[in-house]
């Protein structure tokens, strides 16, 4: 049986990716007669003056042909006497980086094209980093358009040296650099006489012989469950693709996360019974007893696989919106989907140098290292150890679009830890979740009046979507305790409203010191209020001259700008 190689072509706009693969298919006689004839006819209307435009074999969209660029991923299947292939021709434009990442996610090898006249450019570096991120271990650098530089070996060697320096940090298993001309066919299917100084194989022979398949059958068995199959009451099978290892009838499996054990009663590949199955095969497994298994669970013979609810990861951000800590998404790991939150952005990765840059946000097409917290524990591992449960995507909960793809670098918290670690989930993260700046409104003055006003202000805030907590002395708390609880509420991203019977300015200064910059005092004057106002309240309302509802409007008007903007208390007091 022929082995299968899945590969992608990538590089910058107009580097000749589609032309390269089209020429390969044409020259190797891998087209049907009608395809070949259609290509020749379409080329007469193309941009090459009637010469064959090999890119038309892959650029099928009207917009692609009009602009002369690749927009969507184009897949082609072909086979030679030595091997079968699936190729994904991916876009080169930065706007379509997400499409390139989609193609890279399925590939074993990447052909990265560069224009011999331009050399290694920013998009080359971006695509190389994305290939490494997606776990591709084998690269071919095709230095294209060598015919336009006279097949100068000095130019080729300079590009080769720069690319090898770029890739040194990624530890690829193999890198082959080949001089080619996609339009003229040099070194595509056979060695070209125009580059006698090149001693390696032509592109197609190299692809036919390169070894990209690791022996995953030596690893411990692992299979995420994609579907529970129950055609009738007599059969219950669990379907999925074996991601690592080998399984045989009679083997004992552990189901995660329930940790129940059962033996394999039957293995089906398609509709055929098998005594065993191995990595890469889609199977249906029937167990000898009923266990708690559903989509997203994992079968394994290795009890060391981790379960956790937080991890750090490197991601490619693909959304038009800006990513900031505190945003919620659906996180899909393997076959499991559950809610999760971006708790911290550690740094972004500079495309040209690979250096890390501290940041609190990332924008489209940037690479960054982030930390995530999930709503529940999930079976995960580092991408380096296990691709199927080490890679993930973020899904926008409103649009259902994929916002990012990423790889897990480190599991931060196992589910069996008794103490929850929360050092990275800051006040700002929680505030971002709630869409507001936290604040403590401390009401002083006439106790009966301030209590009524605090309740009315809370109603107004809640009705406009804000998150609040009402506190008071009636709950058996000292002033210091109230201040500490209010600060805790602010740390949780909440607006705390405190109704206190404190009568002197020293008490309020003590509360202000505990709470910090979020403290905001509202003094309520009324029929029983003292003439002299203690302390330095930010606002004074007189309920002998206005209703509670009118006073509540005044308070809300004064604080609303702070709640929705990144301004300080001092700034919003001056409007």
* Residue burial 87-119, b: 16+ Cβ < 10 Å; e: rest: bbbbbbbeebbbbbbbbbbebbbbbbbbbbeee
Are 285 and 313 in a shared domain? no
Q: Which of 156, 176, 209 is the last residue of a domain?
A: 209
**pLDDT value, residue 1:** 56
199 and 259: one domain? no
Query: Which residues, including other chains, have CB under 8 Å from residue 478's CB and lie 6 or more apart?
Result: none
Which alpha helices (H) appear in 327-468, and where do they start and end? 427-434, 447-463
How long a stretch of residues is the chain? Answer: 575
**In a shared domain, residues 481 and 443:** yes
The pLDDT score that the predictor gives to residue 473 is 61
Q: Tokens at residue 369, please? A: 């290292």
Look over the chain and give the mean of its residue pLDDT values, rounded to a whole number.
81
Half-sphere exposure (Cβ direction) of 178: Cα atoms closer than 13 Å: 28
pLDDT at residue 285, as a whole number: 94
Q: Phi first, then psi: give them for residue 530, nearest 5 degrees.
A: -75, 155
| Cβ-proximal residues to 475 (8 Å cutoff; 6+ apart), any chain | none
Other beta carbons within 10 angstroms of residue 341's beta carbon come to 22
pLDDT on residue 71: 42
Q: Do 259 and 158 share a structural domain?
A: no
Same domain, 550 and 492: yes
**Domain of residue 440, CATH code:** 3.40.50.300
Share of the chain above pLDDT 90, in %: 28
Examine the domain organization and report whether 408 and 502 are in the same domain.
no
Give yes or no for residue 61 having a pLDDT over 50: no
Tens-place pLDDT, residues 284-314: 999 999 888 888 889 998 667 778 888 999 9
pLDDT band at 35 (very low <50, low <70, confident <90, very high): low
Least confident of 27-41, 136-150, 376-390: 27-41
145 vs 139: CA distance, rounded Å:
19
pLDDT of 215 over the 70 cut:
no
Same structural domain, 223 and 112: no
Q: How far apart are CA 304 and CA 395, in angstroms?
A: 29
Q: Using a pLDDT cut of 70, give the percent of the chain over it.
A: 81
Cis check: omega of the bond before 239, within 30 degrees of 0:
no
pLDDT at 148 over 80: yes
> Are 35 and 60 contacting, i.e. CB atoms less than 8 angstroms apart?
no
Q: Residue 132 is encoded by which pair of tokens?
A: 């490494």
pLDDT tens for each residue of 412-428: 754 443 334 445 667 77
Domain that holds residue 325: 307-425
Banded pLDDT at 267 (limits 50, 70, 90): very high
Q: Tokens for 146?
A: 């060598």
Give me the pLDDT at residue 103, please. Answer: 77
- Mark which of 209, 239, 265 sits at the end of a domain: 209
pLDDT, residue 293, reads 87
On whether both 51 and 81 belong to a single domain, the answer is: yes
Contact (CB, 8 A) for 43 and 164: no
Task: Tell me: pLDDT of 27 over 80.
Answer: no
Count how many domains the chain has. 4
Q: Do residues 112 and 142 lie in contact, with contact meaning Cβ atoms separated by under 8 Å? A: yes
* 314: CATH: 2.40.30.10
| 403 alpha carbon, distance to own chain's centre | 7
The number of beta carbons lying within 10 Å of the beta carbon of residue 187 is: 27
Specify whether 325 is located in the same domain as 410. yes
SS (H, E, C) 336-356: EEEEEEEEEEEEEECCCCCCE
Is 528 marked active-site? no
Give yes or no for a contact between 26 and 80, defined as CB atoms under 8 angstroms apart: no
Q: How far is it, in rounded angstroms, from Cα 306 to Cα 252?
A: 19
Residues 361, 345: Cα–Cα separation, whole Å: 7
Q: Tell me how far CA of residue 161 lies from CA of 112, 167, 177, 296, 389, in angstroms.
A: 15, 10, 10, 45, 35
- Catalytic annotation, pick one of 375, 502, 529, 544: 502
247 shares a domain with 338: no
Q: What does the pLDDT look like over 168-204, one tens digit per residue? A: 888 899 999 999 998 888 999 899 999 999 999 999 9
> Which domain-ending residue is among 425, 448, 469?
425
C-beta separation of 315 from 89 below 8 A? no
Coil, strand or helix at 12: coil
pLDDT in tens, 465-510: 888 988 876 544 567 778 888 888 888 889 999 987 665 667 777 8
Same domain, 408 and 459: no
d(CA 451, CA 470): 10
Is residue 35 domain-shared with residue 183, that is, in the same domain?
yes
């Amino acid at each position: 049986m022929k082995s299968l190689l899945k590969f992608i072509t990538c590089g910058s706009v107009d580097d000749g990716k589609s032309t390269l693969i089209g020429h390969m298919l044409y020259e190797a006689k891998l087209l049907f007669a009608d395809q070949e004839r259609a290509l020749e006819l379409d080329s007469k209307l193309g941009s090459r003056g009637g010469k064959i435009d090999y890119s038309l074999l892959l650029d099928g969209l009207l917009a692609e042909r009009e602009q002369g660029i690749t927009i969507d991923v184009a897949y082609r299947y072909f086979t030679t006497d030595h091997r079968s292939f699936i190729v994904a021709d991916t876009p080169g434009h930065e706007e379509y980086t997400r499409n390139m990442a989609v193609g890279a996610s399925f590939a074993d090898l990447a052909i990265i094209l560069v224009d011999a006249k331009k050399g290694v450019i920013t998009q080359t570096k971006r695509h190389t980093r994305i290939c490494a991120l997606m776990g591709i271990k084998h690269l071919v650098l095709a230095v294209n358009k060598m015919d336009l530089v006279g097949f100068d070996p000095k130019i080729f060697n300079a590009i080769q040296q720069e690319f090898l320096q770029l890739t040194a940090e990624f530890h690829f298993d193999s890198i082959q650099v080949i001089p080619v001309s996609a339009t003229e066919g040099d070194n595509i299917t056979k060695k070209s006489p125009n580059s006698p100084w090149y001693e390696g194989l032509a592109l197609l022979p190299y692809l036919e012989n390169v070894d990209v398949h690791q022996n995953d059958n030596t690893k411990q068995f692992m299979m995420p469950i994609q579907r529970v199959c129950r055609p009738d009451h007599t059969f219950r099978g669990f379907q999925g693709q074996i991601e690592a290892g080998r399984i045989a009838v009679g083997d004992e499996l552990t189901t995660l996360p329930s940790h129940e054990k059962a033996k394999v009663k039957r293995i089906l590949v398609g509709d055929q019974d098998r005594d065993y199955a191995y990595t890469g095969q889609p199977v249906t497994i029937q167990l000898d007893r009923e266990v708690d298994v559903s989509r997203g669970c994992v079968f394994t013979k290795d009890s060391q696989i981790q379960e956790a609810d937080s991890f750090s990861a490197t991601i490619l951000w693909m959304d038009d919106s800006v990513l900031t800590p505190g945003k919620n998404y659906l996180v899909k790991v393997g076959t499991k989907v559950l809610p999760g939150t971006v708790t911290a952005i550690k740094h972004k990765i500079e495309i040209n140098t690979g250096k890390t840059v501290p940041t609190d946000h990332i924008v489209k097409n940037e690479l960054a290292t982030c930390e995530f917290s999930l709503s529940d524990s999930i079976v995960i591992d580092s991408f380096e150890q296990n691709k199927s449960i080490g890679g993930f995507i973020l899904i926008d909960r409103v649009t259902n679009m994929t916002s990012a793809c990423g790889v897990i670098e480190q599991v931060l918290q196992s589910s069996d830890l008794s103490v929850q670690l929360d050092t990275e989930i800051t006040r700002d993260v929680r505030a971002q979740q709630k869409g507001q700046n936290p604040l403590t409104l401390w009401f002083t003055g006439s106790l009966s009046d301030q209590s009524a006003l605090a309740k009315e202000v809370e109603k107004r805030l809640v009705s406009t979507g804000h998150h609040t907590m009402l506190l008071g002395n009636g709950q058996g708390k000292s002033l210091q305790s109230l201040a500490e609880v209010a600060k805790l509420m602010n740390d949780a991203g909440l607006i705390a409203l405190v109704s206190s019977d404190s009568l002197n300015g020293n008490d309020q200064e003590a509360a202000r010191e505990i709470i910090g910059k979020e403290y905001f005092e509202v003094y309520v004057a009324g029929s029983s209020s003292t003439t002299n106002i203690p302390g330095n309240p930010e606002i004074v309302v007189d309920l002998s001259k206005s209703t509670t509802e009118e006073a509540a409007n005044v308070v809300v008007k004064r604080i609303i700008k702070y709640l929705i903007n990144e301004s300080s208390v001092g700034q919003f007091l001056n409007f």
